[in-house]
């Protein structure tokens, strides 16, 4: 066993416990400790990424119980890639929170660390029930974070968020219970093997449980029509929480990719053959729903009345683009999605942080798309908004353009390529129009001070803007290093499309 596999779960757990123990101390040492813990998680993610870089799949059997009887953690290229993206977004979201929003409610840093523990555990677990447990950990922490700071609109949006996710958790338990009753296991590698040999009388219930599992993950990913909880929850919560939540929808996308390749793909199961009855279970549903999500999300971007709401709909649209890439089912398509995933996360998180600065600078008008007096510090904010809008819209030469180019190139061999090209390119045009309109209203159509609300005299300092700038630099690094990053994404996609390596790494030699 490699103890490095469990370290990304233990570190935020221990950090959260220690922060809770010292909750009555001054906020400054707690901030330093919380940031140090996230930096440690970046180091662990980098170490895991290097450890699995040659294609090795690391496992960790809790209690030294062998699979499938015990809980197993599994680290492959995909899991390490998700851990790295999560830790990087968390760092800059936390740095923004340390400017003062972390004291708006209780236990912010404790909940933040527990949220990271749930996210990391969801990416590393190799067991469906353990995945449910980590979902509940990250959801319980997110319930506190989404309500952090209070307020009527935030409480109402948080209530909808809690209710829908509780319903999703109930459906998850039903799906897991059905699969356990049919196959006697919840280890994902073992399920892949047993689904490959499912009997005809059990095929119907197994497919129903698989589709129910897909519905749960679609809810977590905000896939149409299960996306309605996201815009209000992300727009009304605090900026650092919304920035961290930019990676939350990617948990659902990760789970869809994991189960579709491991259990429901053409090569699911063992090297003896594909799961004939379960193969292609998700494929007919995923592409049309992903394209519809992309289109509807961009309509929401056009119709948004405020920058935070617009950023929330950009998250919905990015989920549509990401799952469109995954739905192609090819190595090129999955690689395009894996490249696009961190880009969309960094761009959305940066937009949420910038929206917070813009709202503070505009005073009573906040982030609403209404003309107002010139805001304090408009030039740097306008420049950062311009770069972020280019990222989100997928304009060259930034990483959004590279991601969409890779997606369109992979789509050319798919039978539905005309629809994919039309919606991706047309959606990109809608995004450019919406973001150009937003920038014009916020920064160019100004009114004399006596005709609008008076903004506060204070302007955002360069240090305060650094978290947003850091996220933009990460997106720039994705563009500059597009070659090696795409090579890693391609290797990850090829590993996912050969799931028997995962199965053998978890189960080993079996009698």
The two counts, helices (H) then strands (E), for the chain are 20, 4
Per-residue pLDDT tens digits for 416-440: 889 999 999 998 899 899 999 988 8
Each as own residue / partner, the long-range contacts of residues 139-144 (CB below 8 Å, 24 or more positions apart, any chain) are 139/165, 139/169, 140/114, 141/111, 141/112, 141/114, 141/115, 141/117, 142/115, 142/245, 142/248, 144/105, 144/107, 144/111
Residue 224 placed within a domain: yes
Whether the predicted model's global pTM rises above the 0.85 cut: yes
Residue 176 placed within a domain: yes
Each as own residue / partner, the long-range contacts of residues 178-186 (CB below 8 Å, 24 or more positions apart, any chain) are 178/205, 178/208, 178/209, 178/212, 179/128, 179/206, 179/209, 179/210, 179/213, 180/129, 182/206, 182/209, 185/68, 186/127, 186/128, 186/129
Q: What is the number of other CB atoms lying within 10 angstroms of the CB of residue 50?
A: 10
Residues 182, 41: one domain? yes
Residue 488 placed within a domain: no
CA nearest to 129, candidates 74, 182, 185: 185
Residues 405, 506: one domain? no
Residue 364 placed within a domain: yes
The two structure tokens encoding residue 79: 């899991």
Q: Average the pLDDT over each of 31-45, 57-71, 160-174, 235-249 and give the range with the smallest value.
A: 57-71
How many distinct structural domains can be found in the chain? 2
Residues 170, 45: one domain? yes
What pLDDT score does 458 carry? Answer: 55
Q: How far apart, in Å, are the Cα atoms of 112 and each of 109, 341, 469, 470?
A: 5, 22, 21, 19
Residues 320, 336: one domain? yes
Q: What average pLDDT does the segment 207-214 reach?
A: 90
Residues 122, 205: one domain? yes
Q: pLDDT above 70 covers what percent of the chain?
A: 94
φ/ψ of 446, rounded to 5, equals -95, 155
Residues 448, 311: one domain? yes
Residue 486 placed within a domain: no
Per-residue pLDDT tens digits for 462-502: 788 899 999 999 999 999 999 999 999 999 999 998 888 89
Residues 168, 275: one domain? yes
Please indicate whether residue 266 or residue 408 has the higher confidence score (pLDDT).
408
Q: pLDDT above 90 covers what percent of the chain?
A: 52
Q: How far apart, in Å, are the Cα atoms of 72 and each of 1, 276, 370?
A: 10, 26, 53
Q: How far apart, in Å, are the Cα atoms of 234 and each of 111, 135, 258, 393?
A: 17, 18, 25, 19
Residue 342 placed within a domain: yes
CA nearest to 223, candidates 369, 365, 321, 347: 321
In angstroms, rounded to a whole number, what is the distance separating the alpha carbons of residues 258 and 253? Answer: 9
Residues 364, 233: one domain? no
Q: Average the pLDDT over each of 64-78, 114-128, 245-259 and give the range with the smallest value.
A: 64-78
Which structural domain, as residue segments, surrounds residue 142?
1-281+493-511
Return the beta strands (E) in 357-407 as ranges. Answer: 372-373
Residues 140, 81: one domain? yes
Q: Average the pLDDT over each of 191-195, 250-254, 403-407 and give the range with the smallest value.
A: 191-195
Residues 14, 153: one domain? yes
Per-residue pLDDT tens digits for 109-149: 999 999 999 999 999 998 999 999 999 999 999 999 988 87
Residues 375, 508: one domain? no
Residue 487 placed within a domain: no
The DSSP bridge partners found for residue 306 are 368
- Per this entry, what is the length of the chain? 511
Whether the upstream peptide bond of residue 221 has omega within 30° of 0, thus cis, is: no
Read off the pLDDT band of 408 (50, 70, 90): very high
Residue 287 has pLDDT above 80, yes or no: yes
In angstroms, rounded to a whole number, what is the distance separating the alpha carbons of residues 246 and 17? Answer: 25
Residue 243 placed within a domain: yes
What pLDDT score does 157 carry? Answer: 84
What pLDDT score does 510 carry? Answer: 47
Each as own residue / partner, the long-range contacts of residues 61-66 (CB below 8 Å, 24 or more positions apart, any chain) are 61/1, 62/6, 64/1, 66/508
The two structure tokens encoding residue 383: 């420049």
Per-residue pLDDT tens digits for 438-457: 888 888 777 766 554 555 54
Q: What is the mean pLDDT of the chain?
A: 87
Residues 297, 316: one domain? yes
Q: How far apart, in Å, do the first and last CA atoms of the chain sit?
A: 21
What pLDDT score does 451 carry? Answer: 52
């Amino acid at each position: 066993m490699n103890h490095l596999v469990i370290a990304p779960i233990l570190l935020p757990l221990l950090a959260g416990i220690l922060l809770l123990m010292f909750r009555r101390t001054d906020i400054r040492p707690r901030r330093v400790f919380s940031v140090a813990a996230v930096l440690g998680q970046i180091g662990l993610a980098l170490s895991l990424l290097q450890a699995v870089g040659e294609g090795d799949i690391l496992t960790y059997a809790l209690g030294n119980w062998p699979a499938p009887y015990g809980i197993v953690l599994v680290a492959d290229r995909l899991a390490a890639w998700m851990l790295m993206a999560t830790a990087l977004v968390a760092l800059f979201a936390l740095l923004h929170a340390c400017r003062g929003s972390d004291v708006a409610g209780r236990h912010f840093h404790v909940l933040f660390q527990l949220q990271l523990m749930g996210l990391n555990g969801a990416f590393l677990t190799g067991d469906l029930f353990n995945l449910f447990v980590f979902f509940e950990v990250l959801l319980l922490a997110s319930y506190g974070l989404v309500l952090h700071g209070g307020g009527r609109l935030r409480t109402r949006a948080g209530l909808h968020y809690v209710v829908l996710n509780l319903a999703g958790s109930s459906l998850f338990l039903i799906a897991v219970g059905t699969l356990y009753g049919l196959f006697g296991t919840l280890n994902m590698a073992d399920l892949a093997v047993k689904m490959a040999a499912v009997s005809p009388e059990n095929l119907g219930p197994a497919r129903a449980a698989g589709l129910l599992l897909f519905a749960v993950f679609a809810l977590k990913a905000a896939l149409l029509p299960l996306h309605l909880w996201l815009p209000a929850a992300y727009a009304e919560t605090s900026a650092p929480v919304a920035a961290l939540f930019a990676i939350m929808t990617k948990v659902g996308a990760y789970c869809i990719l994991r189960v579709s390749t491991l259990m429901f793909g053409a090569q699911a199961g063992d090297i003896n053959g594909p799961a004939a009855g379960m193969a292609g279970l998700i494929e007919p549903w995923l592409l049309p729903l992903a394209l519809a999500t992309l289109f509807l999300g961009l309509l929401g971007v056009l119709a948004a009345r405020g920058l935070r709401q617009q950023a929330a709909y950009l998250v919905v649209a990015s989920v549509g683009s990401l799952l469109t890439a995954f739905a192609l089912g090819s190595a090129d398509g999955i690689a395009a999605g894996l490249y696009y995933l961190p880009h969309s996360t960094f761009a959305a998180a940066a937009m949420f942080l910038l929206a917070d600065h813009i709202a503070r600078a505009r005073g009573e008008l906040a982030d609403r798309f209404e003309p107002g007096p010139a805001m304090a510090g408009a030039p740097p904010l306008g420049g950062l908004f311009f770069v972020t809008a280019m990222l989100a819209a997928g304009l060259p030469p930034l990483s959004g353009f590279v991601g969409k180019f890779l997606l369109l190139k992979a789509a050319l061999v798919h039978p539905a390529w005309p629809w994919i090209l039309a919606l991706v390119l047309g959606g990109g045009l809608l995004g450019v129009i919406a973001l150009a309109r937003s920038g014009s209203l916020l920064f160019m159509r100004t009114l004399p001070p006596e005709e609008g609300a008076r903004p506060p005299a204070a302007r955002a300092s360069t240090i305060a803007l650094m978290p947003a700038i850091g996220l933009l630099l990460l997106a720039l690094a994705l563009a500059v290093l597009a070659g090696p990053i795409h090579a890693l994404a391609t290797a990850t996609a090829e590993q996912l499309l050969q799931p028997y390596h995962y199965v053998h790494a978890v189960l080993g030699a079996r009698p």
